Amino acid sequence: MLDIPTVQRAAPSKAGLVDPFGRHVTYLRVSVTDRCDFRCVYCMAEDMQFLPKRDLLTLEELDRISSAFVERGVKRLRLTGGEPLVRRNLMQLVRRLSRHLESGALQELTLTTNGSQLAKFADELADCGVRRINVSLDTMDPERFRRITRRGDFATVMDGIRAAQAAGIRIKLNAVALKGVNEDELSEMVRWSHGQGMDLTLIETMPLGEIDEDRTDRYLPLSVVRERLSREFTLSDLPERTGGPARYVSVTETGGKLGFITPMTHNFCEGCNRVRLTCTGTLFMCLGQEDAADLRSVMRSSESDEALHRAIDAAIARKPKGHDFVIDRTTSRPSVSRHMSVTGG
């Protein structure tokens, strides 16, 4: 197996990245592929047209851009997709990026996965310093799981979760709350996940990309979900803030932690500390806006990273205050045309 070569490049500045609103950008989400082995109904169309493989950044280029951000003060790096573990030779990239953990420049290297390939890679991920991951799981019912994902196998995902836990990796489950689909089992998911030593975060569906149904049919405000859960559990707000979108509560009856990501009912942008890099080298400063910066062409134009750092600075200077997500019957088109799998989940 070939290793990605390490290339030493000098940056023009070690200054941290601060946006126009004084928010320090310390978290980079990197999509390594737009491909996925699932076709979740709320995420993408069943007949998706994926990018030609030639358009994707190479593993070396993903390493180069990610490392430039680490040099500028990014402390958390998350690999996403699509499904990141379907990217060929991805573990070469993970192993290369782990050098930033060893140096202390990076505090966390992690990923978000659907769990389908997790049993294969759990031990190697742990060996590379990955200490926790997010697994997307919207139901505990195998038949319902098949319907939501259109092709996923629930037992395979469960095997992956168990393999990751056996390797010492801590897991947080992410579940999209879907009206008329899984709303009847969310309380049971709280009990089960906490009983297995995993935190759970619930997410409102977001208007990203055209899918095969009207999102208003599936949109379930988490304010409604929280009120329902409060009839069964004692929920106490936690003060912790990660700079991310989740707001957390403790659940007295289970002893676990429950997160709520509410892009629709509560704008979570005031503390945003993150940007997103797509698998084609496009940097989105906000998930819910179309403005972006092309880092691929800048990077490929020079072996030095000076121009790359200037492009990153210019992009961060345009980071907006917040997104403009809307879901209602009068707004039939998605707020953002690209699918989540293109931006990075």
For 159-227, give the secondary structure using H, E and C.
HHHHHHHHCCCEEEEEEEEECCCCHHHHHHHHHHHHHCCCEEEEEECCCECCCCCCHHHCECCHHHHHH
Alpha carbon 174 to its chain centroid, in Å, reads 10
pLDDT of residue 202: 97
78 is in an annotated binding site: yes
128 is in an annotated binding site: no
336 is in an annotated binding site: no
Residue 268 included in any domain: yes
Nearest-10 crossing angle of helices 306-316, 59-71: 70
pLDDT digits (tens, 9 = 90+) for 140-198: 999 999 999 999 999 999 999 999 999 999 999 999 999 999 999 999 999 999 999 99
Task: Read off the pLDDT band of 323 (50, 70, 90).
Answer: low
300 is in an annotated binding site: no
> At a CB cut-off of 8 Å and minimum separation 6, what does 195 contact?
254
Nearest-10 crossing angle of helices 59-71, 90-97: 20
Q: What is the mean pLDDT of residues 90-97?
A: 98
Stronger pLDDT, 257 or 288, i.e. the higher one: 257
CATH code where residue 208 lies: 3.20.20.70
The region of weakest confidence among 132-141, 182-191, 330-339 is 330-339
pLDDT digits (tens, 9 = 90+) for 3-21: 665 554 544 446 899 999 9
Whether residue 215 has pLDDT greater than 80:
no
Q: What is the mean pLDDT of the chain?
A: 88
Whether residue 345 has pLDDT greater than 90:
no
pLDDT of residue 269: 72
132 is in an annotated binding site: no
Whether residue 107 has pLDDT greater than 50:
yes
Q: What is the mean pLDDT of residues 254-264?
A: 90
Stronger pLDDT, 267 or 16, i.e. the higher one: 16
Q: What is the mean pLDDT of residues 320-342?
A: 55
pLDDT of residue 217: 76
Q: Which of 206, 315, 323 is nearest to 269 (CA)?
A: 323
pLDDT of residue 210: 54
272 is in an annotated binding site: yes
Stronger pLDDT, 9 or 257, i.e. the higher one: 257
Residue 5 included in any domain: no
172 is in an annotated binding site: yes
AA identity, residue 159: D
Rounded CA separation 342/320 (Å): 20
pLDDT of residue 11: 42
- Please report where in the chains the tokens 């345009």 appear, as a residue: 318
Whether residue 208 has pLDDT greater than 90:
no
The region of weakest confidence among 192-196, 208-212, 320-324 is 208-212
162 is in an annotated binding site: no
Residue 338 included in any domain: yes
Residue 15 included in any domain: no
209 is in an annotated binding site: no
Rounded CA separation 146/155 (Å): 11
29 is in an annotated binding site: yes
40 is in an annotated binding site: yes
Can you give the pTM of this predicted structure?
0.87
Whether residue 233 has pLDDT greater than 90:
yes
Residue 7 included in any domain: no
Residue 12 included in any domain: no
36 is in an annotated binding site: yes
Whether residue 70 has pLDDT greater than 90:
yes
Domains held by the chain: number: 1
Alpha carbon 299 to its chain centroid, in Å, reads 24
333 is in an annotated binding site: no
Q: What is the mean pLDDT of residues 292-299?
A: 97
pLDDT of residue 13: 46
CA atoms within 13 A on the CB side of 105: 17
pLDDT of residue 65: 98
Task: Read off the pLDDT band of 264 (50, 70, 90).
Answer: low
Rounded CA separation 45/41 (Å): 7
Instruction: Tally Cβ neighbours within 10 Å of residue 289.
Output: 17
- Secondary structure class of 243 (helix, strand, coil): coil
pLDDT of residue 12: 42
Residue 1 included in any domain: no
pLDDT of residue 14: 67
User: Which range marks the domain in which residue 281 is found?
Assistant: 27-343
Residue 90 included in any domain: yes
pLDDT of residue 152: 95
Instruction: Tally Cβ neighbours within 10 Å of residue 317.
Output: 12
